[in-house]
A and B are shown apart, each in its own frame.
Chain A
Amino acid sequence: MKSSSQKQDANFHIDFMKFHKLFLCLSGLMMITAIVLLFTKGLNMGIDFTGGMLLEIKMTAQQESTSLADTRIKLDTLSAGKPTIQEFGDGSIMIKIPGKEMNQAQQKSLSDEVKKLLGEGVEFRRVEYVGPQVGKELVIVGIKAFVYSLIGIMAYIWFRFEWQFGFTSVFSLAHDVCATILFMILTGFEFDLTSIAAVLLVAGYSINDTVVVFDRVRELLRKYRKMDLAELLNLSVNQTLSRTIKTSLTTVMALIALLIFGAEVIKSFTYIMLIGIFIGTYSSIFIAAPMLIYMNIKRE
């Protein structure tokens, strides 16, 4: 086929491969930053992993009129230690006391104490207690879920494509996970069990995107045996671009509805997913596809 007819195959004619070295370098740097920060600054671990106690309370209108600062000062005197306090829009606040083993009497006295400090009218909307032992176990469960998912995905891609594709998709997965974690470190979002689910879904979504591009690469490799690889990759990305954009858009729409109208408890989950959609879309176009250039793909 002539190159003029090839150009007509796609709606877009963007040269994604032109700056691929730059993008790969930037992404590499980003991944290193994420890993360094993970071990230095660390994630804001939720009580799922640190153990501890969390109380979400809703105050009466009268209590609400006292400023949050005052409430903070009052709650700082809790005998269990200085809590972290977070305010939600609807007059409810979240009190978090990390990392303490408490027996039932202590748990009970903590909620009594909060009542005493803020007045009887407070309504307990949510109480969570995770013992330190359970916290440690949940860390292990989280890591296992994480590693097994990645292995599962890699194995499947390996099975469906050649190993070069499998390796590349796992690398771009690692990229997405690093980027999501970097986002969480920088924003200080709490990292708990639901966050792990969110990160894994980002991974799933991203691989979804990558697979669609790879599928097209495979198809075009059979069709154009002589075409320059970079050009072929460009064509694959361009041909699938409108699908990539549209699917991202519908998913983003659903997530934005969830963010604006959905329950407070899963807001952080939604944020992670939302940012993850962008990361996943970016990585399939700018990481996964260009990396194939270096993967020594067999062409008959």
Chain B
Amino acid sequence: MLHIEKWKVIFIILFCVWGFAYASPNVMSESFLAKMPSWLPSKTVNLGLDLQGGSHILLEADIDFMINERLEAMQDTARTEMRKESIGYTNLSVKKDGISFKLRDVAKDKDAAYKIVRQLEEKAEVNFTDEGVVEVLLTEAGVNDISAKVLGQSIEIVRRRVDETGTKEPIIQRQGQKRIVVQLPGIDDPEGIKRIIGKTAKMSFHLVDSDITGKSVSLTSQLLPMREDKAQRINVKKRVIISGDMLVDAQATFQDGAPVVSFKFNAIGAKKFCDTTRDNVDKPFAIVLDNEVISAPVIRDAICGGSGIISGRFDVKEANDLALLLRAGALPAPLNVVEERTVGPTLGSDSVVASKNAAIISLILVFAFMIVSYKLLGVFASIALVINMVLIFALLSVLTATLTLPGIAGIILTIGMAVDANVLIYERIKEEIKSGKTMLAAIDSGYKMSLSSIIDANITTLIVALILFSFGTGPVKGFAVTMTIGVVTSVFSAIMLTRLFVVTYLRHKRPTHLSI
């Protein structure tokens, strides 16, 4: 009647041993773990950013900006091509997700125009009306292509920038169509990192339109503000002489005691810079970063050494940032911070200590309660609860799940709720004894009759936990993980482990009476 099959006993014991083995790295020091042979379990529970301190930053790429850039390029190509073919048109303009214009002579130019617009963009849809209005609209696939490309490049650049700052084990991932998650464990200066990762950092060298601080702005030049004094503006020629991607290295150094950024060109850049400076001696040129003029020195001599210096009244930090940004490359589109959650290292470690204490106190309270209520069976339940905790940590370690602060709350809650299954069984045993059954029969039917309640009750909790897992982010997800694992291990420890204890006890001691 109170028989447990051999294979079940072996499974229970093996699972517990496995649990202890895989939970144990969590209480060992790192140096000890490093010395152990590699085949032994060495994974430990990952602490979430809220426990070890760090930053979670959600960035959103300005995809519209990129689409607009693409559309403007399409508009430019269309204009040049139609001029070449001498096609008459009016109202050429960029609109939402496309460009449009009107043909002056529909009958004559229709076919030629169609040929041109067809070649503008593969993933676009072309509409002609009878009145000669032509629309070229990016298809959804076309828009997705652009955003996928932008996001891919942005992630690469952000990764390079974060790596340059020396942050350990950053996580940089794509989320959805236009967002990037950046997780930086244990950093002290989240503001500094945010300053670096969001910047587009598009640098270019231009000649300055010599009409100086212009009133007249022509098609070929534009007014750009100076970095340190936004009110002062310089008329910069639109044509890019050298762009940031022609730089191969950049370092922050000092010149005459002031922080500057020194850089080297690649071969093409060096040649171009040499030619341009030779042809424009005594004229100013502008170094532009993200539509601001960093400096506009006058060219004294041809510069053909393939390297140069940017001096723009930086402080040390700014010079370092700029050098880093130039090394890592420019972002294709601006990235905006849409969500940030940063926890300082002291708050994190305070939380860990507080949670440990809370867990230990609640374990002690629950032990005391169970032993007072159920005596020996309460002792069994308490031992099972400890093993339950061990199993939770083993599973968390093996699954490399992240333990967050709400996750710890989940574990503590499990302490309280895990004994529920035991309570159900023990209360049932009490009832059965009262109704006149023998001790053995009561114990047997206690386990049998409460099984369906235990399963039902735990499955409903599991449903909530799984749904929280699929919807939750960060800390809430961590909570769902520990709840899910907690439910599974509690059921195991209540209906298998304590049962094994009880059966073993009954077999070996052969008591005639169970005080409960």
- Cβ–Cβ contact A197 & B362, under 8 A: no
Cβ of B135 < 8 Å from any Cβ of A? no
Q: Report A60 CB to chain B, min CB distance, Å.
A: 13
Contact with A along B398-435 (1 / 0, CB 8 A): 00000001100100110111011001100100010011
Of chain A, the residue at the smallest CB distance from B436 is A8
Contact A211/B453 with A204-B460, A250-B423, A253-B366 known, Cβ cut-off 8 Å: yes
Q: Report B411 CB to chain A, min CB distance, Å.
A: 10
Give the chain A neighbours of B170 by CB distance below 8 A.
Answer: none
- Cβ–Cβ contact A156 & B459, under 8 A: yes
Give the chain B neighbours of A254 by CB distance below 8 A.
Answer: 362, 365-366, 412-413, 415-417
Contact A263/B362 with A125-B344, A255-B413 known, Cβ cut-off 8 Å: no
Contact A104/B412 with A134-B338, A153-B460, A211-B457 known, Cβ cut-off 8 Å: no
User: Chain A: interface secondary structure?
Assistant: helix
Cβ of A212 < 8 Å from any Cβ of B? yes
Interface residues of A in 38-95 (CB under 8 A from B): 56, 58
- Cβ–Cβ contact B475 & A194, under 8 A: yes
Q: Report B83 CB to chain A, min CB distance, Å.
A: 40
For the complex, what is the distance from the CA of A260 to the CA of B412, rounded to whole Å? 13
Cβ of A299 < 8 Å from any Cβ of B? no
- Cβ–Cβ contact B341 & A128, under 8 A: yes
- Cβ–Cβ contact A211 & B339, under 8 A: no
For the complex, what is the distance from the CA of A86 to the CA of B246, rounded to whole Å? 52
Cβ of A234 < 8 Å from any Cβ of B? no
Cβ of B142 < 8 Å from any Cβ of A? no
Give the chain A neighbours of B132 by CB distance below 8 A.
Answer: none
- Cβ–Cβ contact A148 & B413, under 8 A: no
Interface residues of B in 47-68 (CB under 8 A from A): 50, 58, 60
Cβ of A129 < 8 Å from any Cβ of B? yes
Contact A124/B416 with A254-B365, A262-B358 known, Cβ cut-off 8 Å: no
Count of interface residues, chain A, beta-carbon cutoff 8 Å: 73
Given A124, A134, A144, A197, which contacts B58 in the complex, CB threshold below 8 Å?
A: A134
Cβ of A226 < 8 Å from any Cβ of B? no
Give the chain B neighbours of A196 by CB distance below 8 A.
Answer: 476
Contact A253/B416 with A124-B344, A126-B344 known, Cβ cut-off 8 Å: yes
Contact with A along B301-343 (1 / 0, CB 8 A): 0000000000000000000000000000000000011111111
Q: Report A142 CB to chain B, min CB distance, Å.
A: 8
Q: Report A273 CB to chain B, min CB distance, Å.
A: 7
Cβ of A33 < 8 Å from any Cβ of B? no
- Cβ–Cβ contact A208 & B461, under 8 A: yes
For the complex, what is the distance from the CA of A249 to the CA of B342, rounded to whole Å? 36
Given A104, A243, A269, which contacts B194 in the complex, CB threshold below 8 Å?
A: A104
For the complex, what is the distance from the CA of A107 to the CA of B340, rounded to whole Å? 10
Cβ of B36 < 8 Å from any Cβ of A? no
Contact A104/B195 with A126-B343, A134-B338 known, Cβ cut-off 8 Å: yes
Given B366, B461, B467, which contacts A250 in the complex, CB threshold below 8 Å?
A: B366
Of chain A, the residue at the smallest CB distance from B373 is A246
For the complex, what is the distance from the CA of A58 to the CA of B346, rounded to whole Å? 10
Surface stretch bound by A, among B26-34, B203-211, B347-355, B492-500: B347-355
Of chain A, the residue at the smallest CB distance from B466 is A152
Contact A215/B452 with A197-B406, A243-B424, A265-B50 known, Cβ cut-off 8 Å: yes
- Cβ–Cβ contact A257 & B365, under 8 A: yes
For the complex, what is the distance from the CA of A92 to the CA of B38, rounded to whole Å? 44
Cβ of B171 < 8 Å from any Cβ of A? no
Give the chain A neighbours of B337 by CB distance below 8 A.
Answer: 103-104, 107, 129, 131
For the complex, what is the distance from the CA of A222 to the CA of B450, rounded to whole Å? 16
Given A111, A149, A265, which contacts B467 in the complex, CB threshold below 8 Å?
A: A149
Contact A262/B460 with A131-B339, A197-B468, A254-B366 known, Cβ cut-off 8 Å: no
Cβ of B216 < 8 Å from any Cβ of A? no
Task: Give the interface centre of B347, B419, B434, B483 by most chain A CB atoms within 10 Å.
Answer: B347
Q: Report B180 CB to chain A, min CB distance, Å.
A: 13
Cβ of B130 < 8 Å from any Cβ of A? no
- Cβ–Cβ contact A201 & B340, under 8 A: no
- Cβ–Cβ contact A197 & B472, under 8 A: yes
Give the chain B neighbours of A216 by CB distance below 8 A.
Answer: 453
Contact A262/B417 with A134-B58, A193-B472, A197-B476 known, Cβ cut-off 8 Å: no
Of chain A, the residue at the smallest CB distance from B428 is A243
- Cβ–Cβ contact B366 & A263, under 8 A: no
Contact with A along B462-484 (1 / 0, CB 8 A): 01110110011101100110010
Of chain B, the residue at the smallest CB distance from A241 is B427
Task: Give the interface centre of B344, B416, B458 by most chain A CB atoms within 10 Å.
Answer: B416
Give the chain B neighbours of A104 by CB distance below 8 A.
Answer: 194-195, 198, 336-337
Cβ of A203 < 8 Å from any Cβ of B? yes
Cβ of B256 < 8 Å from any Cβ of A? no
Interface residues of A in 235-279 (CB under 8 A from B): 239-240, 242-243, 246-247, 249-258, 260-266, 269-270, 273
Give the chain A neighbours of B423 by CB distance below 8 A.
Answer: 243, 246-247, 250
Given B412, B420, B479, which contacts A208 in the complex, CB threshold below 8 Å?
A: B420
Cβ of A295 < 8 Å from any Cβ of B? no
Cβ of B229 < 8 Å from any Cβ of A? no
Cβ of A205 < 8 Å from any Cβ of B? yes
Contact A258/B412 with A145-B471, A197-B472, A204-B461 known, Cβ cut-off 8 Å: yes
Of chain B, the residue at the smallest CB distance from A55 is B342
Give the chain B neighbours of A8 by CB distance below 8 A.
Answer: 434-435
- Cβ–Cβ contact B457 & A208, under 8 A: yes
Cβ of A18 < 8 Å from any Cβ of B? no
Task: Give the interface centre of B191, B337, B467, B473 by most chain A CB atoms within 10 Å.
Answer: B467
18 interchain pairs, CB-CB under 8 A: A8-B435, A58-B346, A124-B344, A125-B343, A126-B347, A129-B339, A134-B58, A145-B468, A156-B463, A201-B413, A203-B464, A211-B457, A215-B453, A247-B424, A250-B365, A255-B362, A260-B361, A262-B354
Report the 7 A-B pairs with minimum CB-CB distance, sorted nearest first.
A254-B416, A251-B416, A257-B362, A131-B338, A263-B351, A145-B471, A254-B362
> Which positions in B face A, CB cutoff 8 Å?
50, 58, 60, 190-191, 194-195, 198, 336-344, 346-347, 350-351, 354-355, 357-359, 361-362, 365-366, 369-370, 373, 405-406, 409, 412-413, 415-417, 419-420, 423-424, 427, 431, 434-435, 449, 452-453, 456-461, 463-465, 467-468, 471-473, 475-476, 479-480, 483
10 other A-B residue contacts (CB within 8 Å) besides A126-B342, A254-B362, A254-B366: A56-B347, A104-B337, A129-B337, A130-B339, A141-B471, A204-B463, A204-B465, A260-B361, A265-B351, A266-B409
